Structure 1
Amino acid sequence: MRSAYVPALVVIAVCLAGCSNAVDGTAQQAAGPAPDTVDVALLDPGNYSTEPLDPMGAAEVPAAGALLEAVRMADFVVGPWDVDPALVEANPFGMSPGAMPLKGDPSVLQAITVSEVAEAAGQHNYVNGFATSRQVKGQKVLFNVVLRMADPQSATAAAAAMAQAAQDNPVELTPPVTLTRIAIPGHPQANALTHSYPEYGTEATWHAVNAFTAHGPYVLMQRAQSTESSDAAAALVSRTLDLQGPRIDEFVATDPAQFPTLPRDASGLLAKALPVVSTDINVNNNATFGAHAALHYQSDPVHTGAKFSDAGVDVVVHAADWVYQTRDEAAAQQLVAASIELLKATGSAADPVPNMPGSHCIKVADQGFSCTSAAERYVFDVFSAQLPDAHQQMAAQYIMLTAE
């Protein structure tokens, strides 16, 4: 996962070439752009679109609405770093970078658990969910998942059934493992199982705890792993439940019957982001996140969360790039400055975007190039394997964000 914040530039309206003023009957050529401003006429967007998309309308179909609702839920899902600030390293799972909204089809839960547990959720009125995971490599891992069921009764039945399915269908390991029940401190209602297994190729032994806890209409699901002990893994689950229960209670859920009416672009900002190529669309893009929800996709959520708060970030959209809406232009500059410092730690400086003062690009090891800048109150961040392509994406995004 890449860092998600970026440099800022105060955008000043400029008079384009060919504009003139008459003073005392003498023709005067218009002054050029002031230093440190951007003349959009000089930007090269290549073949990238510079026109915002048309309004996106409503979900229209229940499945699309269920996914939009899952993205909304992400703002109320506790990140592993909230439980333990050391848990910041990405832990990819399924086809995700370490976080993903879970649409209404229960088969999608196979990205986070065995098929029998996914089927148990589906048998008890599963609606949707959100999953997030981080690790301290070689020491501990924490998955935190919130699953919405149709009602509290369904959640209670699902939590018990999912735990039983997990116990009856352990992951195949060598040597085979047996899952046994374990108590979660402070949470006697949790249905929790533990097992230990040696890590292949090392001398480490991992101790895992899987927990399924009904909380209102939700199943709070965790998988914690520790090389220290089962008690250490259970303590991670306990702390997660301490935080997650109250947090999800703040979520104002949408009636599933209303899912088709949910807006695809509630803020209007997604239409102004670089559009995703159809072949690249997945559950994590074409999405609008709240500030906390966006942290599930950041390389350093602890650091970034503080910077988001300082800059008043309230909307983040992920299309072909990332765009962050801050409190104002000064806040955007502030966020960009913080982003530059983080980007410098990830690689070596590369050429900035031509004719875009205030832009910054970094070559990220052998992965490609990350560029960042700001337009008005927006900070934006692109990534490409080729620097000229990154430059063109940046130019197109700037033009779209500043279009009248």
Structure 2
Amino acid sequence: MIQTVTVIGANGTMGCNVSGIFASFGEVKVYMVSRSMEKAKNAVEKAAMSVRADAIKENLIPADYSMLENCIKDSDLVFESVAEDLNIKLSVNHKIAKYVDKNTIICTGSSGLSIKELAEAFPESIRQNYLGVHFFNPPYNLTLCELIPSEYTDRNLFCNIREYVTNTLYRTAVEVNDAPAFLGNRIGFQFINEALQYAERYKDNGGIDYIDSILGQFTGRSMAPLVTSDFVGLDVHKAIVDNLYDNTNDYARDTFIMPEFVINMVNNGVLGRKTKGGLYKLEVSNSGAKKKMVYDIASNSYRDVINYSFPFADGMVNAFKVGDYNTAFKTLINNHSTEAEICIEFLLKYVIYSLNTNNIVGKSIHSADDVMATGFNWCPPLAVIQALFGIESFKSLAEERLSNDLLNQIDLDMLLSKVEVSKYDYRRYFKAKR
């Protein structure tokens, strides 16, 4: 039974939020280990706010690294949540290894590094207690928790953690294989990074906000893809896609190449919302008036966000408003403007890449649906097939709208032969919003 948890890196966004989840849903004592007591105390306040439960503060104990030994020795579970950097995590694991015993459960919140390699920082007798427990941000709103065993992980311990995560922390626990970026981020950031590449390709049409307007909430996601990148942080985005480019070799590998303009932003510390500017930024005048700006790739400067009007998008939104989903998707399919073609192409490729990646990383045909619905709040791939009028219609659209080069690299019939009806209703994801 888990009664005490140590979270290392608790002053970071995820460490702070995960501490709140353990303390509120798990009702356990949490040592929030940060680089200084001041940071730890601030993290306690943020953790309570993150789960809207001020009462949990009595369960949150600020600590710094000088207290690490006592914290770990008093804990049933240690959760590492330091920077997403292999060397940093290995260094922290070596510290943890000094104080854990054979009964301590050790988890990493890594969003995509090798669990096997991280486990090897521990003595062989301890590696069986180590696994990946990947929450999604913000965990109070997004219930997904990817669980990643390594080849060393004890299966009984894994099953116990899965039950704890599901029944005590109320997460959607999805077991995935130990593969780069696991399942959710591999699918999600393939889509997001390719959208960035298209923003660069169509920079003379508007670039960033142009592509986001084509792939907005009416296309089955709670947040447009490039807005999502800004929310996550361009540095985190870069770490994820660099890892995928270096360590995967499927047909979509080149879609993980980050455009040069974004690399320059990262190098200059322009990282998105956390630096108050990235692909988008909010300008506040002396009078307090707020104005949303977007980085214009063509001119290398910020400008006002444009309110684009595309007939296919207007038609879809109007149909969604009255619950006429068939008309909405027929509007998309039958409109052959550049923007509609980009939109349908992205939806088709999203499904195909999800199915293909799920074969490598997932444990069931529904794994990709679970991670995209509960980790990204995007319409899951099997549900998109239903929205586009079923398997035969989807196959015809893919053969008609996608390049021969892509189709020759996949086995579309094999991928679609495994498709089942989604557990999720696509109608809740396609919003009557631009």
**TM-score normalised by the shorter chain: which range applies?**
under 0.3
**Bigger relative contact order (CA 8 A; separation at least 6):** 1
Q: Which has the larger radius of gyration?
A: 1
> How high is the TM-score relative to the length of structure 2?
0.24
- TM-score (normalizing by structure 1): 0.25
